[in-house]
């Protein structure tokens, strides 16, 4: 395995990742961009830490910094990626054993949503932070003993990271003699370490919070601001005239994320972050082994959570790359004689585990053994160890041959090992009154269920067949449940053609902890069959 690790993103999290990797003996290629050097709203301690990361990264002999670098191409498999960057106008090729995406969050001002126009007295949160970070800015606010008002949580649901930034600025302002801070807020989002304390400290130092149901009315006349809102306690309107108004921002994913997702062939989740809401992807994993996402590249999170991501990433890199040698177990193989290079497996593999060496080849380090490719290959050229077609046929035959009680319908349930198999095992352990003729066949992923398995089970004597997959969005192989559903629909058509009632076949989705739902599904099928 190549031991160099590529880190994409030179902001707080990227620098922290590069330093942590280098300190653990991994050479690092750090692809940085000019605008990702700072962290908005960082506390003084965080700014010092960022500076320390910058110094450590710049001076570390194992960190190769590519300035102004963006990824343009990527190929390869875990332990052997080839990455091409455009750095300062030149194309640079680098080898890496793993890739860490550490792009940071961007901020989008929400002035429009409040009907406000930026001016010297109406500024965004980032602009206020920049003012407070500079001596001139502080002087500007402090000397004039200004009253600064913050607007938060009316144009969007707030979050603790934004709240933290507001609280930091409020602390700074009330710490300046003669200055006052008002915070107009919808919901106070303080569900993070230390935020409640920070909020109370701000109040103790004179900050005033107005918790409102709707945004206050704001007008500006010749630079004079008026903020008006209804107070339900005194049952009257209140009007205040702050010197400055600070408008909240939306924290958004880095613009590079979309192209990184495409080039690296990793899934993009909601709002442009590089992780889907899939329980199997936590905390730093992507759909591809060897490509990890940390910090703001995967979600809106603060610096301490981003640093926790860096620790998790380091563990995963050590697990994958170790000292450069890894023993892997082959999970699936391609019969080169049968392969016609149709590209089907390359397109359907959700883990990017297939590459080419004249014919399709499966990387044992990347393959997750889901079996989707094996069931999709039109030439039956792929076999999955432990679940070869021959073994599956024998298991189906064996399951159908288990003698059931007289008149007990035989039901074969193909259960994904990541969800329904666990639910079925729990249902048995909890002694649910399961059908006497039920046989459970474990499969690595519902995407491995071939239409032939279903037809075979019926031919071998099963009265009913159920395919049980993970819930939508929670398939470990992302699309295994979708492939299974398509094949079930195909099987329905075939059953109709040969005159077998459709209700002898069922598709269901479950989570591993849904033992009672498992029981309900199989019992329902049994009673349907009995009614015939």
List of residues contacting ligand SF4 (CB under 6 A): 332, 334, 339-345, 349, 351, 353-354, 360, 362, 367-373, 377, 379, 381-382, 384
Using the minimum distance from each CB to ligand SF4, give the nearer residue, 379 or 511: 379
* Number of alpha carbons in the 13 Å side-chain half-sphere of residue 528: 17
> What is the smallest separation between the CB atom of 219 and ligand SF4, expressed in angstroms?
60
Using the minimum distance from each CB to ligand SF4, give the nearer residue, 14 or 447: 447
> What is the smallest separation between the CB atom of 457 and ligand SF4, expressed in angstroms?
22
DSSP states of 465-490:
EEEEEEPTT--TTSSHHHHHHHHHHH
> What is the smallest separation between the CB atom of 347 and ligand SF4, expressed in angstroms?
9
> What is the smallest separation between the CB atom of 363 and ligand SF4, expressed in angstroms?
8
- Total residue length of the chain: 532
Using the minimum distance from each CB to ligand SF4, give the nearer residue, 363 or 439: 363
Q: C-alpha angle 180/182/185, rounded to 5°? A: 160
Nearest to 456 by CA among 523, 391, 386, 364: 391
| 456-492: burial string, b at 16+ Cβ within 10 Å, e else | bbbebebbbbbbbbbeeebbbbbbbbbbbbebbeebb
- Alpha-carbon distance 227 to 242, whole Å? 8
- Alpha-carbon distance 464 to 526, whole Å? 8
- Alpha-carbon distance 152 to 127, whole Å? 15
> What is the smallest separation between the CB atom of 36 and ligand SF4, expressed in angstroms?
32
Using the minimum distance from each CB to ligand SF4, give the nearer residue, 302 or 375: 375
Assigned token pair, 242 = 């702050």
How far lies 77's CA from each of 95, 168, 365, in Å? 11, 43, 8
C-alpha 270: how far from chain center = 8
Provide φ and ψ at 82, rounded to 5°: -115, 120
> What is the smallest separation between the CB atom of 353 and ligand SF4, expressed in angstroms?
4
Using the minimum distance from each CB to ligand SF4, give the nearer residue, 362 or 434: 362
> What is the smallest separation between the CB atom of 391 and ligand SF4, expressed in angstroms?
15
How many C-beta neighbours within 10 Å does residue 279 have? 14
* Contact criterion met (CB below 8 Å) for 315 and 441: no
Using the minimum distance from each CB to ligand SF4, give the nearer residue, 129 or 376: 376
Using the minimum distance from each CB to ligand SF4, give the nearer residue, 256 or 417: 417
Using the minimum distance from each CB to ligand SF4, give the nearer residue, 350 or 424: 350
> What is the smallest separation between the CB atom of 202 and ligand SF4, expressed in angstroms?
51
DSSP 387: S
Q: Can you name the residues that pair with 384 across neighbouring β-strands?
A: 332
Using the minimum distance from each CB to ligand SF4, give the nearer residue, 174 or 362: 362
> What is the smallest separation between the CB atom of 422 and ligand SF4, expressed in angstroms?
20
Using the minimum distance from each CB to ligand SF4, give the nearer residue, 101 or 445: 445
- Alpha-carbon distance 76 to 68, whole Å? 24
> What is the smallest separation between the CB atom of 49 and ligand SF4, expressed in angstroms?
39
> What is the smallest separation between the CB atom of 216 and ligand SF4, expressed in angstroms?
54
Using the minimum distance from each CB to ligand SF4, give the nearer residue, 198 or 344: 344
Using the minimum distance from each CB to ligand SF4, give the nearer residue, 374 or 495: 374
Assigned token pair, 58 = 């710049």
> What is the smallest separation between the CB atom of 95 and ligand SF4, expressed in angstroms?
23
First to last CA, the chain: 59
Using the minimum distance from each CB to ligand SF4, give the nearer residue, 77 or 521: 77
- Alpha-carbon distance 277 to 473, whole Å? 7
- Alpha-carbon distance 257 to 270, whole Å? 12
Using the minimum distance from each CB to ligand SF4, give the nearer residue, 29 or 377: 377
Q: Which residues contact 81 (CB under 8 A, 6 or more apart)?
A: 2, 6, 74, 75, 95, 96, 97, 98, 99, 290
* Number of alpha carbons in the 13 Å side-chain half-sphere of residue 70: 14
> What is the smallest separation between the CB atom of 413 and ligand SF4, expressed in angstroms?
22
> What is the smallest separation between the CB atom of 265 and ligand SF4, expressed in angstroms?
12
Provide φ and ψ at 491, rounded to 5°: -65, -35
* Contact criterion met (CB below 8 Å) for 147 and 242: yes
Assigned token pair, 395 = 């298991």
- Alpha-carbon distance 293 to 274, whole Å? 7
DSSP 442: E
């Amino acid at each position: 395995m190549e031991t160099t690790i590529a880190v994409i993103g030179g902001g707080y999290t990227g620098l922290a990742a590069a330093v942590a990797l280098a300190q653990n003996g991994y050479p690092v290629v750090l692809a940085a961009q000019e605008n990702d050097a700072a962290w908005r709203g960082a506390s003084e301690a965080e700014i010092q830490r960022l500076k320390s990361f910058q110094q450590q990264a710049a001076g570390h002999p194992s960190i190769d910094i590519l300035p102004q670098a963006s990824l343009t191409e990527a190929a390869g498999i875990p332990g052997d990626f080839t990455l091409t960057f455009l750095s300062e106008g030149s194309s640079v090729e680098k080898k890496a054993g793993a890739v860490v995406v550490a792009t940071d969050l961007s901020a989008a001002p929400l002035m429009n949503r409040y009907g406000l126009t930026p001016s010297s007295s109406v500024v965004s949160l980032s602009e206020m932070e920049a003012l407070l970070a500079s001596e001139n800015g502080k002087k500007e606010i402090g000397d004039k003993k200004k009253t600064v008002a913050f607007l938060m949580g009316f144009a969007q649901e707030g979050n603790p990271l934004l709240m933290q930034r507001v609280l930091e600025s409020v602390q700074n302002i009330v710490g300046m003699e003669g200055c006052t801070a008002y915070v107009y807020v919808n919901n106070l989002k303080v569900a993070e370490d230390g935020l409640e304390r920070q909020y109370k400290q701000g109040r103790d130092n004179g900050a005033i919070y107005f918790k409102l149901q709707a945004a206050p009315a704001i007008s500006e006349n010749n630079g004079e601001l008026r903020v008006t809102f209804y107070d339900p306690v005194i049952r009257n309107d209140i009007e205040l005239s702050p010197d400055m108004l600070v408008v909240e921002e939306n924290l958004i994913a880095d613009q590079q994320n979309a192209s990184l997702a495409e080039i690296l062939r990793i899934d993009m989740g909601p709002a442009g972050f590089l992780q889907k809401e899939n329980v199997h992807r936590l905390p730093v994993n992507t759909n591809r082994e060897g490509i990890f996402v940390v910090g703001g590249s995967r979600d809106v999170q603060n610096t301490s959570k981003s640093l926790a991501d860096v620790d998790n990433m380091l563990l995963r890199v050590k697990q994958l790359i170790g000292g450069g040698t890894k023993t892997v177990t082959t999970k699936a193989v391609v019969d080169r004689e049968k392969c016609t290079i149709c590209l089907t497996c390359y397109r359907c593999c959700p883990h990017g585990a297939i590459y080419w060496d004249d014919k399709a080849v499966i990387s044992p380090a990347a393959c997750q053994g889901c079996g989707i490719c094996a069931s999709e290959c039109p030439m039956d050229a792929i076999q999955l160890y432990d679940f070869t077609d021959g073994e599956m046929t024998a298991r189906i035959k064996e399951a159908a041959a288990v003698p059931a009680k007289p008149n007990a319908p035989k039901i074969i349930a193909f259960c994904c090992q990541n969800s329904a198999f666990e639910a079925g095992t729990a249902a048995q352990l909890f002694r649910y009154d399961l059908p006497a003729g039920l046989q459970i066949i474990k499969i690595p992923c519902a995407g491995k269920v071939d239409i032939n398995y279903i037809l075979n089970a019926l031919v071998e004597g099963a009265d009913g067949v159920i395919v049980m997959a993970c819930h939508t969005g929670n398939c470990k192989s992302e699309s295994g449940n979708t492939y299974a559903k398509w094949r079930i629909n195909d099987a329905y058509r075939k059953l109709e053609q040969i005159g077998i009632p459709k209700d002898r076949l069922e598709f269901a989705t479950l989570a591993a902890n849904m033992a009672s739902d498992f029981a309900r599904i199989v019992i329902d099928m049994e009673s349907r069959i009995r009614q015939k």
